[in-house]
Structure 1
Amino acid sequence: MNQKAKKPIVKRAVKILWTIFFAGIGIVALIIILASVGALGNMPSIEELENPSASQASQVFADDGSIMGKYYLQDRVNVNYKDISPYVIQALVATEDERYYKHSGIDAKSLLRAVSSFGGEGGASTITMQTAKNLFTENWGTKNVFLRLLQKVKESIIAVRLERNFTKEEIITLYLNTVEFGDNVYGIRNAARTFFQKDPDRLSISEAAVLIGMLKASTSYNPRLYPQRALNRRNTVINQMVRSNYISASEADQIKATSIVLNYSKQDETTGLAPYFRMVLGEELKKWCKDHKKSDGSNYNLYKDGLKIYTTINPRMQLYAEDAVGQQLSYMQKVLNRQDNVRKGTVWNG
């Protein structure tokens, strides 16, 4: 084949390639536009973005202000940015999104890396995108490739909108208040209290690294269930903090030489002070919720709306009362067991 015959073929091939290229760009642009206007599924309004909501546990307080128990579907209580240890923020940024303070919701560099390696060198989700997923998107665990890609498009759009409406500190607080830490514990406040019996602003570097390490897989890296995995993951987070210049290498070596010290205690409806009282109280509160409405016209929900219920229960007197009942029941059981018909098993005979 001579050179003159080859030229039309090459031109045709180049034209086809350019056509495919621009058609692909057009399709992607169309998907983004359709997703933005909600044609491919619900998208949050500006009002919803400005007032994001997530299920919060309702708390029952004794007369001294101590927490007696909770009612919840997801064990979550929100905190403010100032109430979170800086070590938590540093560990999160270093591990999950090291360019968090430089991008506007989408990290182009991470996106290119993820696409070029087909996800083999890590994902492209930023903290803002993960916040969008936690707050506003559904079916995020689907295995359908098309739905997952559509999900990513929606996450990206919402992430950009979040960046326009919130500061970086507000976004990272939203994320830490909504993310799951395992054992049906949601949010950094409840995670700190459940695993270490501390408020989140009191967490050490090691404790912060343990909790942030759980975000990759909250069950697999749960220190209560898999202490060695959690330890290895904590050390990985510590290394990331060194890489991001949050801590020194010598400081990291000292922390990695220590073990994880848990102080685990999970409070729910069946544990804590006065469980029977709280069971009856819960039924009364459900009736109250049916008769009272929020500002948007909907009824309150005991398990989702983060209600604060204050009682007149005195914790010390309640403990005395429960102890007295326990002792009396034990005594009465001994008296019962000494009865002849009980010992012989004839008590039920006619």
Structure 2
Amino acid sequence: MERKKNQRLKNTIFKYLALTALCLFLLTIGFLWSIKAGLFGPLPDHESLAKVHNPQATRIVDETNENLGYLYRFYRSNVTYDDLPQHLIDALITTEDARFYEHSGVDYRSLGRVLFKTVLLQDRSAGGGSTITQQLVKNLYPRDYDNKFEILVIKIKEIFIAQKLEKIYSKNDILTLYLNTVSFPDNTFGIHAASKTFFNKAVKDLSLTESAVLVGSLKATYSYNPRVFPEASKLRRNVVLSQMKNYGKLDTELFEETILTDIELEYRSVKPSEGVAPYFREQVRKQLTKWAEDYAKEKGETIDIYSDGLIIHTTLNKKLQMMAEASMKEHMAVLQKAFENNWGNSPPWKKQAIYNAIVQKTDFYKQLVREGKSEAEIQEALRQKNDRETFDWSGTSIKKISLIDSIQNSLKMLQAGFLAMNPADGAIKAWIGGIDFEHFKYDHVAQSKRQVGSTFKPLVYTAALESGVKPCDYFSASSVTYANLEGWTPTNSDTEDYTHINVNMQEAMRKSMNTVSVRLMEESGIAEVLKLAHNAGIKSSLPQVPSLALGTAELSMLELATAYTTFLNNGKPSEPYFITKITNAKGEVLAEFKPAKDTAPAYSEETRQVVLEMMQSVVKSGTASRLGWKYKLTQDIAGKTGTTQNNKDGWFVGLLPNLVTVSWVGADNGAIGFRSTSVGQGANSALPIFGLLMQKVKADKELSKKYNKSFPAPSAKVVRMMDCPPTKEDGFFKKLFTNKDKAKTKNFDEEGKQNKGLFKKLKGIFKKD
């Protein structure tokens, strides 16, 4: 009786267990069916899987299709199966998926092993059961989940998608797709990017040990990063080589020989901020972003500028750009040292009033204030030394310094900008926005507006000529105090005594005389100078004050370059542009960009020739003469130096017959300038960038042929107009009745133009050309 009772109990338990198992089975089947049916989100269909899109970086090229750099979220590029060396394929399969050629997307044997050991035996070292195909799915459709249930759903989805992929693609295709999408160390995606980054070579040229290093890093991209942990990477590489030997892909002799070798990297970090023309490429990115938005509105088609494999064709000349960057770095390393030595032991960047303004804007300082720290506690925290990355011309390094030290180091660094453009159409040929894009993102070409100093004077001279002043008119070079301008007294930068000395326009331009520039402004009137400057392409608001003649206007480098194109382009300003066309990955043209249409000349051809001749004299024997005696440049060059008040900014505009260049140097903080004019003047701070560049251009056969040209000869009339002695002394009676020791005082017409008087008007009537 007891036996029957026990038997019935066993039967009942069995029935319940069987029923429970059946219910679990049916629930599992239903759960799997619901996932496959898309109740937890749709699975990609056959068509979309057949068009698997592997994101490709956008490539930026120069005017000759030379590569400048990439735009990407993750650096990657595609290779074909034929590019993959056999030892790379063997390393991958033997390490990641030994039965790759046997399964159809899912290795149920490995999956069962992982479930048994990991789930039932809680053995976390059991490894993963994902096949290469499943890992490919994970690469193509990155996981996004909030809890364990969601990750379970995602993993099941990946199994279904993997099985679909195996029906659509060959094993070789899957291997290629996987290697093009998988993540390697240092945020590189795809075997091409990894090969270039760590070994600076094409995938097909990878050696056995290099392939093993890269495959080994897939297990843990940080822990097995060969750059960061070379020993751990070597151990992992040897595990990969061991797997290859175990599966018969590597003979014992070669295995034993290879595991003894060290890893030799030829590391080339590929970051958007590194490489040629980083400031320029950032401007391309900004314009491209705007274009993509407009394209989507117009065409109804979305374009991803980071992953659609676009090719951006630009106007830049890579060779000229690289020479300009090298020249800037060469000069700035020397100038920075001179700048610091010139200030000695009391530099402005160490004054608390200057660096405190920066400190108080930092998140660290604001956090200390929110925490209620006292001023003494805040200062103590600010002076605490920690490991911080610092930049100087010896390189980037990690130093144990305080936050204040770090800010002072940043404040003292001089910045530089350089721009070169074709005056005929505005095409940008070189662009340097700062000294180092990684550490100083601010672009001084496009974003900054600084006082331009004497580089504005050619526009003042141009306005004066257009108003009727003749090149051989003479002007007193002595200083004048303007009583109605609060006693303002413009003076010249040199120490010569100009009492009783009068100079013509060319001599005044050659020596960059401030006193004469103001007198020329009186001749034309401020309104005429403003009008001409805007007609020459300057869009910024200009100060309507007499000091405009000395360059108190704040302009961008692009505006200044645009205005100077008029001196080489028949008086017409050329609008800067730098993208010529955009093509997709198939080479189809999506957009083309042309130079802006011709504008009307801002002034006459005769005036243009006169001012260009004057600016050539600046280079031959004036403030820019060091181009000849120091840099040994003998070709035709016109130019103008510029230095602003308190030596805050140094400028040089250099003109070749077919190139406009602008160089600028200064500190970003307005309270910091050069201590002495000898160091800070434009001829010493900015001109050398141009001088060093032209030396390199001269030594290069291709660029020398392109840019070493002669200016067209001026007309016979212009030659006659400028044929006069540079200086003329006052006559005997004027000297007799002039008190040398008494400062000359006069009023400047508030409306912008001095009344000429009857005698001067009559004199002008009888003046000959």
Query: TM-score w.r.t. structure 2 length?
Result: 0.42
Matched residues, percent identical? Answer: 36
How far has the Cα of 1:66 moved from its partner? 4.3
How far has the Cα of 1:103 moved from its partner? 0.2
Range 92-101 or range 313-322, more displaced: 313-322
Deviations 1:102-145 (A, max 9, x none): 000111110111111125422211111111111125226x6x33
1:158 aligned partner: 161
> Which consecutive unaligned segments of at least 5 residues does structure 2 have?
119-123, 349-644, 647-670, 673-769
- Is the contact between residue 61 and residue 68 of structure 2 (CA under 8 Å) also seen in structure 1? yes
2:295 aligned partner: 292
The 2-side partners of 1:79 and 1:336 are apart by 50
- Give the paired residue count: 346
Using a 3 Å threshold, how does the CA distance of structure 1 residues 178 and 344 change in structure 2: closer, same or farther?
closer
1:203 aligned partner: 206
Using a 3 Å threshold, how does the CA distance of structure 1 residues 11 and 335 change in structure 2: closer, same or farther?
closer
SS in 2 for 1:310: strand
How far has the Cα of 1:38 moved from its partner? 1.2
SS in 2 for 1:117: helix
1:25 aligned partner: 25
2:239 aligned partner: 236
The 1-side partners of 2:58 and 2:167 are apart by 31
The 1-side partners of 2:40 and 2:213 are apart by 38
Deviations 1:16-71 (A, max 9, x none): 22212222221121111111121112321222211122433212234555432111
Does 2:260 align with 1:262?
no
- Is the contact between residue 105 and residue 126 of structure 1 (CA under 8 Å) also seen in structure 2? yes
2:453 aligned partner: none
1:87 aligned partner: 87
SS in 1 for 2:174: helix
- Is the contact between residue 43 and residue 136 of structure 1 (CA under 8 Å) also seen in structure 2? no
- Higher RCO (CA < 8 A, seq sep 6+): 1
The 2-side partners of 1:244 and 1:313 are apart by 52
The 1-side partners of 2:330 and 2:243 are apart by 54
Report the residue type matching 1:174 in the other structure.
L
SS in 2 for 1:75: coil
Deviations 1:274-330 (A, max 9, x none): 222212222222222223359x94321212222122335443332222233344555
- Is the contact between residue 114 and residue 120 of structure 1 (CA under 8 Å) also seen in structure 2? no
The 2-side partners of 1:184 and 1:241 are apart by 27
Using a 3 Å threshold, how does the CA distance of structure 1 residues 14 and 53 change in structure 2: closer, same or farther?
same
* Bigger radius of gyration among the two: 2
- Is the contact between residue 55 and residue 73 of structure 1 (CA under 8 Å) also seen in structure 2? no
2:312 aligned partner: 309
Aligned residue runs from structure 1 range 42-57, under 5 A: 42-57=42-57
Aligned residue runs from structure 1 range 170-209, under 5 A: 170-209=173-212
How far has the Cα of 1:80 moved from its partner? 1.3
Aligned with 1:136 (options 121, 141, 151): 141
Using a 3 Å threshold, how does the CA distance of structure 1 residues 225 and 137 change in structure 2: closer, same or farther?
closer
How far has the Cα of 1:161 moved from its partner? 0.7
Report the residue type matching 1:321 in the other structure.
A
SS in 1 for 2:156: helix
Report the residue type matching 1:147 in the other structure.
E
Does 2:248 align with 1:245?
yes
> Which consecutive unaligned segments of at least 5 residues does structure 1 have?
none
Report the residue type matching 2:134 in the other structure.
M
2:607 aligned partner: none
2:416 aligned partner: none
How far has the Cα of 1:334 moved from its partner? 7.2
Does 2:130 align with 1:125?
yes
Report the residue type matching 1:179 in the other structure.
V
The 2-side partners of 1:173 and 1:335 are apart by 55
- Is the contact between residue 213 and residue 221 of structure 1 (CA under 8 Å) also seen in structure 2? yes
How far has the Cα of 1:2 moved from its partner? 2.8
SS in 2 for 1:102: coil
Using a 3 Å threshold, how does the CA distance of structure 1 residues 64 and 91 change in structure 2: closer, same or farther?
farther
How far has the Cα of 1:343 moved from its partner? 8.4
Q: Flag the structure with higher strand content.
A: 2
Using a 3 Å threshold, how does the CA distance of structure 1 residues 228 and 340 change in structure 2: closer, same or farther?
closer
2:35 aligned partner: 35
Using a 3 Å threshold, how does the CA distance of structure 1 residues 26 and 275 change in structure 2: closer, same or farther?
same
2:559 aligned partner: none
SS in 2 for 1:104: coil
Using a 3 Å threshold, how does the CA distance of structure 1 residues 48 and 344 change in structure 2: closer, same or farther?
closer
The 1-side partners of 2:142 and 2:338 are apart by 61
SS in 1 for 2:60: strand
Query: TM-score w.r.t. structure 1 length?
Result: 0.90
2:478 aligned partner: none
Alignment RMSD: 2.7
The 1-side partners of 2:35 and 2:343 are apart by 78
The 2-side partners of 1:271 and 1:137 are apart by 28
How far has the Cα of 1:6 moved from its partner? 1.8
Report the residue type matching 1:59 in the other structure.
R
Using a 3 Å threshold, how does the CA distance of structure 1 residues 81 and 19 change in structure 2: closer, same or farther?
same
The 2-side partners of 1:132 and 1:64 are apart by 39
The 1-side partners of 2:131 and 2:64 are apart by 42
Deviations 1:153-177 (A, max 9, x none): 1110111111111111111111111
Range 205-214 or range 314-323, more displaced: 314-323
Q: Flag the structure with higher helix content.
A: 1
The 1-side partners of 2:232 and 2:64 are apart by 40
The 1-side partners of 2:184 and 2:37 are apart by 33
Report the residue type matching 2:67 in the other structure.
I
